[in-house]
Chains A and B, each alone.
Chain A
Amino acid sequence: MFYREAGQFRTTYAEDQQLFPIRQDRIGAIFFLLFAFLVVPIASVTPVLERAIDFQYWYGGVLIPFLIFSLAALGLNILTGYAGQLSFGTAAFMAVGAFAAYNLELRVPGIPMLASFILAGIIAALVGIVFGLPSLRVKGFYLAVATLAAQFFVVWALTKFGWFSNYSSSGVITAQKLVVFAYAFDTPVKRYVLVLAIVSVMALAAKNMVRGSLGRAWMAVRDMDVAAEVVGIPMMKTKLLAFAISSFYCGVAGALYAFAYLGTVEPTGFDLDLSFRIFFMIIVGGVGSILGSFLGAAFIVLLPIFLDLSAGSLERGFGLRLPPGLVSNLTLIAFGALIVFFLVVEPLGLARLWEIAKEKLRLWPFPH
């Protein structure tokens, strides 16, 4: 009933290929963006809500990391979900982005912040191409091992060569103040709006990309690379573009991670664990789905917070003394179990559940 597309005729190819072919989706997307851009920030200055909710925490500690991880997951999803190239180097490409943006701001006088973010993404893309070269020869977990080389090498190089961190001890960098168009984004709410704008634009760009010829070429390579090559898809261009664009997204995400979220980062913060966390996001959210990147990021960001809160309320409510490290171990167990669960039960992740819900909503409340 709610998702009935009866009467929505598509009479041109352009209409058939638009980003959101169903009217309800279109309205929903616009409504959602308006909500995210207007209602959420305005709510934070509403006096009634301000007393009830700790907005500093929810913006700085939940919403901003959610958006940034969504962007990184989007990058990984382009590479793994659409082009089928397994990668565990996500955190390394984020690190490249973060350190590149820092150095650009530091060494190029007067460079606009957004320009340095874009350049940081491009630098990450170049690094991605270099470490994507093995994908021309190997695939599957052989390739995963090759991307692990990127992971270890980049972290080592950023720690080893002081130039990258302006010779600070142990490679810690403190990101410059976030100023765009002479406007200082100095509170979590302002930063949230900036991050949201960047992520929205890049997500729409990704959605646009995967429906076009490039996205189709990626999917052909994913589904069977030999067959794709036989029908004339240029293997080198397609695979390396996947690495480049994926790394671009990860690089921008890394720059935002340093500038808009943490403020102070060090190379070892971008370790294999972070790569795995982003990898989990796309598995849980949905491999090969833009929406899935967001759902997965939300899930993986919220799960530890949820476990933490419930452990805290258990301790307070029942006066229990929970052993230290219990929550972090439970998080590990929950992550592991979830991965297996999703792979077995719903390999296409939360995004697929949303599709099923849509199918149901279309008929509801009628049986047929």
Chain B
Amino acid sequence: MQFFFEVLIGGLLAGVMYSLVALGFVLIYKASGVFNFAQGAMVFFAALTMVGFTELGAPFWLAVALALGAMIILAVLTERVVLRPLVNQPQNTLFMATIGLSFFVEGVAQMTWGAQVRALDLGIADEPIGWISEKTGMNISKFDLVASGIAAALVVVLAVFFNRTSTGRALRAVADDHQAALSIGISLQRIWVIVWIVAGFVALVTGMLWGARNGVQFALTFLALKALPVLILGGFESVAGAIVGGLIVGASEKLAEVYLAKYVGGGGIEPWFPYVLALLFLLVRPEGLFGEKHIDRV
């Protein structure tokens, strides 16, 4: 039983990291109806830029600021070059465009900074916390706890931003109804830039946390693929859904790896288990846990 809880908690903490990636997706989807496949590439780009500047000798805070600057440039360019010409196109078209964007960003990131794996040290040790191990016998990483704390803080900041600032309200208005938002004088273009910047910021935080754990490398781009089942489970429109979905995926894939894998011929089911889970979930509730119901009209 104690082992079960250890696996469960480890999974939940990993799930927090998935939630962070999913959060970036949700932000952009809510504000512009674009399913941004490039979020994984943005995570990679942000982390790589940050580490790259550190290697050039920039202090930590400056490297973060410069990376954030790069994400702002990326957001502005994306809006100009990709989103603006594709206004009013079907969602599928925009989705495909972001696939192109992700390849572009990956190529640029690797060309600028090189493809080798880099270590990123945030100064938080990735080791079990002593007193918890002693009291309960469970190994819980300090790093995981800090990461969850950061994720929680990020969600609070975003919630305040969305609910208490006028920009945040404008974002929600756009998400609700593009035309109504336009008619009361909200600039769609400005909102899109802002939301891509916010998503870029989330990508930077995600990239630094994942990078500190696994090294800053190309594999970070696959995070986008991890986040997809999270979104299916949680619903595309809901920040809360991203968090809950991430926790479910994180916990269930670890539990499945430990308890279910032996029935299907051994380990290694982690890569596809969340997808199958999401698939089964789709059949029952296509809009996800917290998503809005889709209504088709002719």
Residues on A lying within 8 angstroms of B by beta carbon are 86, 134, 137-138, 140-142, 144-146, 148-149, 152-153, 156, 159-161, 224-227, 230, 272, 276, 279, 283, 323, 325-326, 329-340, 343-344, 347
Contact = CB atoms under 8 A, between A and B. Distances in A.
SS class of chain A's interface: helix, strand, loop or mixed?
A: helix
Nearest to B297: A226
A133 B234 CA distance: 21
13 contacts: A137-B286, A138-B286, A145-B229, A160-B268, A325-B114, A329-B108, A329-B115, A332-B107, A333-B111, A336-B102, A336-B107, A338-B100, A347-B93
Nearest to B94: A343
Interface residues of B, number: 47
A224 B298 CA distance: 8
A140 B282 CA distance: 13
B35 to A, nearest CB: 5
Given A141-B95, A148-B225, A156-B271, A337 B104 contact: yes
Interface in B262-298: 265-266, 268-269, 271-272, 275-276, 278-279, 282-283, 286, 296-298
Interface string B84-121: 01100101110111011111111110110011000000
Contacts, number: 128
Given A134-B282, A138-B286, A344-B85, 15 more contacts: A86-B92, A137-B283, A142-B232, A145-B229, A145-B275, A149-B278, A160-B266, A160-B268, A226-B296, A325-B115, A333-B111, A334-B107, A336-B100, A340-B97, A344-B86
B81 interface: yes
SS class of chain B's interface: helix, strand, loop or mixed?
A: helix
A332 B279 contact: no
A140 B100 CA distance: 17
Nearest to B225: A148
A149 B268 CA distance: 14
Contacts of A230: 298
Contacts of B231: 145
A330 B107 contact: yes
A340 B100 CA distance: 6
A156 B272 contact: yes
Given A137-B282, A161-B265, A339 B100 contact: yes
Contacts of B111: 326, 329-330, 333
B271 A149 contact: no
What are the nearest 7 A-B pairs in CB distance?
A: A339-B100, A336-B104, A332-B107, A336-B103, A333-B107, A149-B275, A152-B272
A339 B275 contact: no
Tell which of B103, B110, B111, B271 has the most Cβ of chain A within 10 Å: B103
